[in-house]
Structure 1
Amino acid sequence: MIRAILFFVKLALLVAVAVWLVEHPGLVRVDWQGYRLETSFGILVLLLLALAVLLYVLVRFYGSVLKAPFAFMRARNERKRRQGYLALTQGMVAVAAGDPEEAKRLARKADSLLEDPPLTMLLSAQAAQLNGDDDAAERYFTAMLKRPETEFLGLRGLLNAAVRKQDSAKALTLVKRAHEIRPQTDWVLRTLFDLQVKDGRWTEALSTVQEMAQGKLLSVEAANRHRAALQTERAREAAGKGDTAEALDRAKRALGHKADFVPAALEKARLLIEGGKHKRAAKLIESVWAVRPHPGLAALYERCWPGESALQRMRRFQSLAALNPQAVDSHVAVAKAALDAQLWGEARGQLDKAMVAGASANAYRLMASVVESEYGDVAKTRDWLAKAAAAPADPVWICGNCGAQAERWHAVCGHCGAFDSQEWRLPPRAEPLALPAIDGETAPDQRPSPVILPPAARQAAPEVTPPRPD
């Protein structure tokens, strides 16, 4: 509406000026070189306007002629740029699709069309990797390190190559450099931590855990468990060097992060016992046993009472078991102490409870020892040993990542390198497979091969009540 009003206002002004010129034509006379030009003022204005328009057209035309080569070059460069970006995009798609030849061809095309090496070096490196040319890929990634805008990408490419080649020293150097550029990046911190723990750099790994916790990459619980595992390894390291005071301090810090961390408790209790501080060791074991009993703690607890009789130690173990009376390890610990004190009835009673609670083969072997010591019955002893062979295997440290078993806890799995993945639990039980019948006949009676059942199948399997002693 406003534009329409303005248009009519302008039109009215033009009409008013035209009318005024018609009513007041005036006279304009020009004498020049013997020539005389006479006309009205209105006509002169029109002539001047026409001349101005003509000059404007001539100037624009002249400018277009002069700028034509430059305009042509700009259009040509813009077309090359569009084609280059198209080749770059298609090359990335070829890399994602796993087509090495197409990716290599498009990388060369993009490099020739785009005069911007940082954009094409990554595609060229990825194409070389896809084509199996690791040397060429490394050259491209190394060239990317020379430019600040591509240095981080180059570091990641070189780092991945070093990890694939299992060159831990080079990988650690590269990830540290990447950490200097982007210290809060998720994959940088996780890779740095993994390489540090695999190389036994426990102190450096503690600093990395702190950064990961501050960046919310680890929960509070996970961070504390990581710290406990690292401090435990630091304690072992100090103990191996003969620095008992430092080892005790580090074990104490580990338990400060996670009070029921069994590996740290085992390390600290052992150091206290070796230092003659038996009561402190016993108090530590009792505090951990109430939450997380472990056979290793029971073995150390026996050493906390030197000079005491077997009967006195048995009573100590009864007090220890009272802190966690439902645990299988509590029953087994008391049964072993009762066996040493030659209290056969107490030993059998504790082992009965352990078997009902789902004890492992160790309880059946102890029952065989009870029967042999009390009665000297070889047949019944062999019977219990046979039952021990058929019972679930004793708990061990099992890696939750690869399933590898270890007698002693380590922060890093010796098989797959996973950090803090070992758990104290029963190993998967081997169940026999029934041999299929052939042509309707009964399969021959032969010993089947053991098969490890998956967790779901083991949970679904019916529970078998352990045999009671004769």
Structure 2
Amino acid sequence: MIRLILTVALCVITAILAVWLTLNPGTASFEFLGWQAETSFALFMGVLIVAAFLLTVLWWLIAKMWGAPDAWRKLRRRRRRDQGVDALERALIAAAAGEGELAVRQAARADALLERPALSRLLAARAAEAAGNLLAARGHYEALLEDPRTRMVAHRGLSVLAETQGETANVITHAGKAFAEARTARWAFDSLFNAQIAAARWDEALETLSEGEKRRHIAPDSAARRRAVVLTVKARQMRQSDAEKAAELAEKAAHASPGFAPAAVLAGDLLPSRRRHRKAADILETAWRLHPHPAIARAYGDLRKSDTAAKRAARLRALAEFNPDHRESRLLLTGIALQQGNMDAARSAITPLLAENPLSARICTLAARLSRLEGDEDAAQRYLARAAHAPGEPDWSDIDGNGEAFNFAEADWQRLVYAWGDEERLIHPRHERFEMIAEAIPDRILLEAPKRAAKETSTPEAGTDSGSVIIAPAPLPDRETRKREETPSAGPRFAPDDPGVGDDD
């Protein structure tokens, strides 16, 4: 619309000017080297305009001819750049699609057409990776280390290659350099921490985790949970060589993640030997309140070895009150009630658990003992039969045949760093590998549950503490159980999955 208005206005002005020149023709005269000329002013202006136009065209042609070589060179460079960009695009697409050979060819073509050595080397490295030629890719990345602009991408590429080939030491080297040079490179933190965990370099992993938390590469809650796992591993490694330091690390781990059962149980085991029973109890109570676990109950019951069975039972009942609606609390109360012969309390605690589907072997065991105590032999046998085929409980599998909790392999702890740190979830390696104690529950152990008319306690032998709490599973029948069969028993035996109060310490 604006152009149309301007065109109309120009036409109007031209028409007005033509009319004015017609009404006022005037004359124009010239004299040059004896030559004289006289004409109308309108004709003179027309000739002047045409001459100016011709001179402008002539000057344009001369300028074009003068700059033709440079223009030709620029045209060629532009075409090469366009071809190089096209080859670069094709190489990137081929590398992303996994077409290694095509990516290598296009990368070589882009290198020949583009005068960008850094970009060409990076593209060649990616193409070599896509083609599976890791040795060539490593060479290209190492060449990129020479340029400060591409040093970070070179470290990342070499770190990825080393991780692919399982070279943990090289991952730590390159990711560590990148982590030290670039504060915003989150990949460097992830790669370095993962490699340090894989290499079991726990101290270095703690330092990296602290620095990554300062740089906000990881959320504070995830960092705290990861730190708790690493500190627990260190404490377990030092419990024999430096018990004082191990207790300190276990306490730090429990404070970092209060609901982390392995840290709480370890602190509950180490702190009492330092005469810090109250602190150990606080840690275990907090852990039970957040994430109940049978190993926590076992550690809580063993805080004071000199306590009688009644005191330990009372302490365990108090522990269950910290999280009364949780199934572990109900299982704990059921076991205590069964051991004391309190049928009503046992039935009240276990009834909500009997609605689970399917019932676990642990619940079936407790139900069989209760039925036996109530004098219902048929129900006891039915629960016994179900227990033989019922699934085990993952939490209970964390206690091994020797009664030790969370006796995991190094690879399991490495996995737990991420399971608990990122998901707040415990893993159960023995359950996953079907290593649970007493897969088929021995009939004789269940049949020895106290009957309704039988005495609930027996007189302990001299020098024996009658206040032990049985929280761990029963030992394997072919080792400890057979040994016990050959030795006279000082009291009733319990089912493997019964966290009751025993008569032996």
Please say whether Structure 1 and Structure 2 have the same fold, judged by a TM-score greater than 0.5.
yes
Query: Structure 1 residues 211, 2: CA separation in 2 closer, same or farther (over 3 Å shift)?
Result: same
User: Residue 300 of structure 1: CA displacement?
Assistant: 1.8
In 2, distance between residues paired with 1:333 and 1:324?
Answer: 11
1:85 is matched with: 85
SS at match of 1:38: strand
1:166 aligns with 2:170: no
1:29 is matched with: 31
1:39-118 matched pairs, under 5 angstroms: 39-40=37-38, 53-118=53-118
The answer (yes or no) to whether the contact 2:277–2:303 under 8 Å persists in 1 is yes
Q: Deviations over 1:74-111 (max 9, x none)?
A: 11121121111112112222223322222222122222
In 1, distance between residues paired with 2:56 and 2:427?
Answer: 92
SS at match of 1:156: helix
1:454 is matched with: none
Name the Cα RMSD after superposition: 4.4
Query: Structure 1 residues 58, 233: CA separation in 2 closer, same or farther (over 3 Å shift)?
Result: same
In 1, distance between residues paired with 2:393 and 2:32?
Answer: 124
AA at the equivalent of 1:353: I
1:457 is matched with: none
Query: Structure 1 residues 19, 383: CA separation in 2 closer, same or farther (over 3 Å shift)?
Result: closer
1:353 is matched with: 350
Answer with 412-421 or 386-395: which moved more.
412-421
The answer (yes or no) to whether the contact 2:111–2:120 under 8 Å persists in 1 is yes
1:347-386 matched pairs, under 5 angstroms: 349=346, 353=350, 356=354, 360-362=360-362
SS at match of 1:413: helix
User: Residue 175 of structure 1: CA displacement?
Assistant: 2.0
The answer (yes or no) to whether the contact 1:141–1:157 under 8 Å persists in 2 is yes
Q: Deviations over 1:376-427 (max 9, x none)?
A: x9xx99998765432322424899xxxxxx9436896358686234526794
| Percent of aligned positions that are identical | 28
Relative contact order, CA 8 A, sep 6+: which one is greater? 2
2:302 is matched with: 303
In 2, distance between residues paired with 1:298 and 1:121?
Answer: 61
1:419 aligns with 2:427: no
Query: Structure 1 residues 398, 187: CA separation in 2 closer, same or farther (over 3 Å shift)?
Result: farther
2:285 is matched with: 286
2:177 is matched with: 177
1:275 is matched with: 274
1:207 aligns with 2:210: yes
1:259 aligns with 2:258: yes
Aligned length: 410
User: Residue 163 of structure 1: CA displacement?
Assistant: 0.6
SS at match of 2:419: coil
User: Residue 146 of structure 1: CA displacement?
Assistant: 2.8
In 2, distance between residues paired with 1:167 and 1:397?
Answer: 37
Query: Structure 1 residues 37, 333: CA separation in 2 closer, same or farther (over 3 Å shift)?
Result: same
Answer with 263-272 or 366-375: which moved more.
366-375
2:481 is matched with: none
In 2, distance between residues paired with 1:338 and 1:221?
Answer: 38
User: Residue 72 of structure 1: CA displacement?
Assistant: 1.5
User: Residue 297 of structure 1: CA displacement?
Assistant: 1.8
User: Residue 17 of structure 1: CA displacement?
Assistant: 6.3
Q: Deviations over 1:342-373 (max 9, x none)?
A: 74456993798287366744566678899999
User: Residue 164 of structure 1: CA displacement?
Assistant: 0.5
Query: Structure 1 residues 4, 273: CA separation in 2 closer, same or farther (over 3 Å shift)?
Result: same
The answer for unaligned runs of 5 or more in structure 1 is: 400-405, 431-470
2:389 is matched with: 390
Answer with 170-179 or 316-325: which moved more.
316-325
Query: Structure 1 residues 276, 23: CA separation in 2 closer, same or farther (over 3 Å shift)?
Result: closer
In 1, distance between residues paired with 2:347 and 2:96?
Answer: 63
The answer (yes or no) to whether the contact 1:162–1:168 under 8 Å persists in 2 is yes
User: Residue 136 of structure 1: CA displacement?
Assistant: 0.9
AA at the equivalent of 1:132: G
In 2, distance between residues paired with 1:413 and 1:81?
Answer: 54
In 2, distance between residues paired with 1:100 and 1:343?
Answer: 73
1:97-246 matched pairs, under 5 angstroms: 97-180=97-180, 182-198=182-198, 199-200=201-202, 201-211=204-214, 214=216, 218=219, 221-236=221-236, 239=239, 242=242, 244=244, 246=245
1:451 is matched with: none
User: Residue 236 of structure 1: CA displacement?
Assistant: 4.2
Answer with 228-237 or 10-19: which moved more.
10-19
Query: Structure 1 residues 429, 40: CA separation in 2 closer, same or farther (over 3 Å shift)?
Result: same
AA at the equivalent of 1:125: A
Query: Structure 1 residues 255, 325: CA separation in 2 closer, same or farther (over 3 Å shift)?
Result: same
1:444 is matched with: none
Query: Structure 1 residues 347, 310: CA separation in 2 closer, same or farther (over 3 Å shift)?
Result: farther
Residue of structure 2 aligned with 1:38, choices 36, 39, 46? 36
Query: Structure 1 residues 417, 248: CA separation in 2 closer, same or farther (over 3 Å shift)?
Result: closer
2:401 is matched with: none
2:456 is matched with: none
The answer for unaligned runs of 5 or more in structure 2 is: 399-404, 435-505
In 2, distance between residues paired with 1:114 and 1:248?
Answer: 63
In 2, distance between residues paired with 1:424 and 1:82?
Answer: 55
User: Residue 338 of structure 1: CA displacement?
Assistant: 6.7
The answer (yes or no) to whether the contact 1:272–1:280 under 8 Å persists in 2 is yes
Answer with 329-338 or 306-315: which moved more.
329-338
Residue of structure 1 aligned with 2:8, choices 1, 4, 17? 4
In 2, distance between residues paired with 1:208 and 1:398?
Answer: 36
